[in-house]
Amino acid sequence: MSSTTDLAPDVSLHVQEKWLRRRAEILRAALRAFREKGYAETTLGDIAEYVGVRKTALYHYFPDKETILYECHRESLAEVSGLLSAARRRHTGAADRLHSVITDHVRVMTETLDGSPISFEVPSLSGARQAEIIGARDQYEKGIREIVQQGISEGEFEAVDPKLAVFAILGAINWISRWYRPGGPVGTADMGNQFADHLVGGLLKRKW
Amino acid sequence: MSSTTDLAPDVSLHVQEKWLRRRAEILRAALRAFREKGYAETTLGDIAEYVGVRKTALYHYFPDKETILYECHRESLAEVSGLLSAARRRHTGAADRLHSVITDHVRVMTETLDGSPISFEVPSLSGARQAEIIGARDQYEKGIREIVQQGISEGEFEAVDPKLAVFAILGAINWISRWYRPGGPVGTADMGNQFADHLVGGLLKRKW
DNA sequence: ATGAGATTTGAACGGTGGTTCAAAATTTAA
DNA sequence: TTAAATTTTGAACCACCGTTCAAATCTCAT
């Protein structure tokens, strides 16, 4: 019947929605497995077990293992991609914009992606897919760098190397996937704010 | 002849030193391969190729792949483990101590470990080894947390959750392995200082 | 120079995991 | 209810990779 990204045109709406629900379930299970074991050590059997099927059922929804990873990446990026423009709309100053991006990114990491490890698994993608994901990631980084540069130019931030500053910020945020567990003992509703205060505060011009 | 952690007692000094040199070379190659591909995707053939031997030669020096990883972990921890006590000896204030630890840790990451990805590969260790590495890592984190707590208690730092603050700091530092490349375009001699200024500065009590 | 020891190599093994494919099972729609 | 469509399953395949082992090669020490 299906190509594994969408359904045949004559399939009923009910069947389509059921298919999409199962597909989404597989992606959720994959994300969890990748977080726990990494992509390479996760077997299709692991993912299937979390879903409650056998590994070969996954081929009804995805053509191969890598595509599952790729789709996880795309979903993660979709969550993150609007954060910059939202921060720019809401705020004019660099500090407020940066604070907003960080807070939102932490929220996405913890509430939507459940501590997604996806930032780590880029090298497992092949050729064009890897280039695409890296491209989108680099766009996001660039956008944050521009905010930092804005802060420096307007005298709000110390004259740091924006690239290093952004790597530090994104490192802190991406590392959340290493320790954050939904319902775990660490991490509260306010952690986005603490992260942002810390990471933005450290850039502000010192008043001596 | 050898057990793979040391040599037979009657082996000449010359042969011992040669053996140890080769062994160290293998560890260096492994660290590089793990950085580039991750532990799971790195084959023994990859490591061997970097050394210029065949994969089976590695068994003369290490009993299995995991032991290579374990030894990489131990070496990394050896580099990091003295940083806390050094900072405590050198400084009395929390901010100075924290600044010192961060600067030193960044230096170790970039100069000694060439951007070691080792923080990421803990789940690949089995049982007792994993517990050991996690234990040592947790000790280090705890030490940093105590510095942060000192800063809070003495009114030097904002009243943050020390655990979150330390995760942010260690995230930023560990993330270096994702973008830092020896001789690469990013990263200068002063990046440790920028990182430390940023990450410590963000904790300092605000003066309004 | 030579024999012993150290080091490296290549062949082989076995287990694992991604993938294919056809049959079985389940669901759907008339 | 029934046939068609969809979904799941299990058997099988094969490539790959960690590991073993004995032979080949190299190095060392006398």
Q: What is the pLDDT of residue A188?
A: 72
Chain A residue closest in CA terms to B203: A198
Nucleotides in chain D near protein beta carbons (<7 Å):
5-11, 16-22, 27-29
B138 in the same domain as B43: no
Q: What is the pLDDT of residue A1?
A: 42
B174 in the same domain as B127: yes
pLDDT above 70: percentage of residues in chain A: 94
Angle at A17 between CA A30 and CA A52, to 5 degrees: 40
Residues of chain B (23-52) having a beta carbon less than 7 angstroms from strand C = 48
Q: What is the mean pLDDT of residues A59-83?
A: 94
Q: What is the mean pLDDT of residues A173-187?
A: 85
A20 to chain B, closest Cα gap in Å: 31
Contact B160 A199 (CB under 8 A): no
A102 in the same domain as A34: no
ipTM of the shown complex: 0.90
- pLDDT score of A83 more than 80: yes
B180 in the same domain as B91: yes
Give the torsion sign (CA, B198, B199, B204, B208).
positive
- pLDDT score of A6 more than 60: no
A136 in the same domain as A171: yes
Q: Taking a C-beta distance cutoff of 8 angstroms, is the pair A171, B170 a contact?
A: no
Q: What is the mean pLDDT of residues B124-141?
A: 93
Overall number of domains in chain A: 2
A78 in the same domain as A149: yes
Terminal C-alpha separation, chain B: 70
Q: Taking a C-beta distance cutoff of 8 angstroms, is the pair B102, B192 a contact?
A: yes
pLDDT above 90: percentage of residues in chain A: 76
- In this complex, which residue's CA is closest to the C1' atom of nucleotide D19? B64
Q: What is the mean pLDDT of residues B113-124?
A: 80
Domain assignment present for B4: no
Give the confidence band of A9 by pLDDT, cuts at 50, 70, 90: low
Domain assignment present for B23: yes
- pLDDT score of A100 more than 80: yes
A196 to chain B, closest Cα gap in Å: 9
**Of the candidates B41, B163, B191, which has its C-beta nearest A164's C-beta?**
B191
Average pLDDT, chain B: 91
Cα separation of A44 and A54, whole Å? 9
**Of the candidates B160, B163, B197, which has its C-beta nearest A198's C-beta?**
B160
Q: What is the CATH number of the domain that holds A35?
A: 1.10.10.60
Q: What is the pLDDT of residue B63?
A: 96
Give the confidence band of B1 by pLDDT, cuts at 50, 70, 90: very low
Q: What is the mean pLDDT of residues B80-89?
A: 94
Residue A108, CB-side half-sphere exposure with 13 Å CA sphere: 20
Residue type, position B139, single letter: Q
Among A20-34, A175-189, B118-132, which is the least confidently predicted range?
A: A175-189
Q: What is the mean pLDDT of residues B113-137?
A: 87
- pLDDT score of A208 more than 60: no
A196 in the same domain as A95: yes
B113 in the same domain as B172: yes
- pLDDT score of A34 more than 80: yes
**Backbone φ and ψ of B158, nearest 5°:** -65, 160
Most B CBs within 10 A among A164, A178, A194, hence the mutation to make, goes to A164
SS3 content of chain B, % helix, strand, coil (to 5): 70, 0, 30
| pLDDT tens per residue across span B30-62 | 999 999 999 999 999 999 999 999 999 999 999
Among B82-86, B114-118, B142-146, which is the least confidently predicted range?
A: B114-118
Question: Which is nearest to B52 in space by CA: B76, B28, B17, B82?
Answer: B28
3-state secondary structure B113-181: CCCCCHHHCHHHCCHHHHHHHHHHHHHHHHHHHHHHHHHHHCCCECCCCHHHHHHHHHHHHHCHHHHCC
Domain assignment present for B3: no
Q: What is the pLDDT of residue B206?
A: 81
Q: What is the pLDDT of residue B61?
A: 97
Structural domain of residue B145, as residue ranges? 73-201
